[in-house]
């Protein structure tokens, strides 16, 4: 079945360090890909998305490129801040009949130290 | 502001006492869904709804009911809650798979 695998955390970085969180997927169709972020004690927020191969999603300094050949959607940020400390989820979705189910990775916790 | 509103945010209840978690969206989305989030298991879909009066089971529907009488509302009903339903619950809606999903703030349910 379809699945999403993302690197295990926790990831601990110093402020201004470069961030990469790896995400790979398996899917039978042509999914849309997402990164969601969950700040402590809060709900899930859409961070960025890409809907077809070679699309680059970007938001708040974060980027991810939809790579069909490697079935990957790695999240990157050039210079992290303390305020980026959160749990990051990679997810995919496509229309499966009437269901537009999101299939999730298990999340990667990021802690950024000043 | 476009949003999904869930209530309550926190709920502690006893085994067997029926409860309802409400979910309402103001974006006129046709598709709505419920997920539960558990450590080590990630997010799992409970139920979804394509439109008014159209609902179907997700991956973990046992012990839950839903209804969709109006487009904006999609309540989650636990007829007889059990401790294994202790979890963090999220309601979400979308207008299409390419647009992403808007999530509610979550409901942390504890069943004792």
Mean predicted confidence (pLDDT) in B80-103 = 92
Residues B32/B43, Cβ–Cβ less than 8 Å? no
Which residues of chain B neighbour A44 with C-beta distances below 8 Å?
Answer: 90, 92, 103, 106
Among the listed residues B104, B87, B90, B91, the one whose alpha carbon sits nearest the alpha carbon of residue B11: B87
Side by side, the strands of the sheet bearing A19-21 are A19-21, A75-77, A62-65, A56-59
Q: Is it the case that residue A30 has pLDDT exceeding 90?
A: no
Question: In 3-state terms, what secondary structure has residue B85?
Answer: helix
Q: Does A53 touch chain B (CB under 8 A)?
A: no
B-side interface with A, Cβ within 8 Å? 31, 33, 35, 40-43, 45, 48, 50, 54, 56, 58-59, 90, 92, 94, 96-98, 100-106
pLDDT at B97 over 80: no
pLDDT of residue A42: 85
Q: What would the pLDDT profile of B13-46 be if each residue is shown by its tens digit?
A: 999 999 999 999 999 999 999 999 998 888 999 9
B26-B58-B54 Cα angle (round to 5): 55
Per residue in A51-81, pLDDT (tens digit) is: 999 999 999 999 999 999 999 999 999 999 9
B90 to A94: CB separation less than 8 angstroms, yes or no = no
> How does residue A100 score in pLDDT terms, banded at 50, 70 and 90?
confident
**The pLDDT value given to residue B96:** 81
C-alpha distances in angstroms, A43 versus A88, A95, A111, B36?
Answer: 12, 24, 18, 12
Q: Which residues of B touch A102 (CB under 8 A)?
A: 33, 35, 43, 45, 92, 101
Query: Do A4 and A104 form a contact (C-beta atoms < 8 A)?
Result: yes
Tokens of B66: 């839903």
The gap from C-alpha A1 to its chain's centroid, in whole angstroms, comes to 20
Instruction: Give CA B21 to chain center in angstroms.
Output: 7
pLDDT band at A98 (very low <50, low <70, confident <90, very high): confident
A41 vs A49: CA distance, rounded Å? 23
User: What's the pLDDT score for residue B109?
Assistant: 98
């Amino acid at each position: 079945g379809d699945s999403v695998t993302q690197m295990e955390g926790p990831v601990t970085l110093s402020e201004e360090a470069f961030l990469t969180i790896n995400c790979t997927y398996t899917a039978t169709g042509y999914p849309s890909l997402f990164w969601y972020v969950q700040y402590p004690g809060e709900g899930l927020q859409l961070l960025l998305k890409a809907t077809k191969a070679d699309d680059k999603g970007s938001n708040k300094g974060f980027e991810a490129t939809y790579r069909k050949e490697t079935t990957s959607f790695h999240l990157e940020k050039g210079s992290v801040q303390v305020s980026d400390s959160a749990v990051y989820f990679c997810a995919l979705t496509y229309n499966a009949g009437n269901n537009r189910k999101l299939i999730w990775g298990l999340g990667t916790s990021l802690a950024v130290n000043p | 502001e476009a949003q999904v509103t869930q209530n309550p945010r926190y709920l502690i209840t006893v085994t067997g006492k029926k409860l309802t978690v409400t979910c309402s969206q103001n974006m006129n989305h046709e598709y709505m869904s419920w997920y539960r989030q558990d450590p080590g298991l990630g997010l799992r879909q409970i139920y979804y709804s394509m439109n008014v009066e159209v609902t179907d089971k997700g991956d973990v529907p046992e012990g839950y009911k839903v209804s969709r009488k109006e487009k904006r509302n999609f309540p989650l009903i636990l007829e007889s809650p059990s401790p294994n339903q202790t979890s963090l619950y999220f309601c979400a809606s979308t207008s299409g798979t390419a647009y992403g999903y808007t999530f509610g703030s979550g409901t942390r349910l504890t069943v004792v």
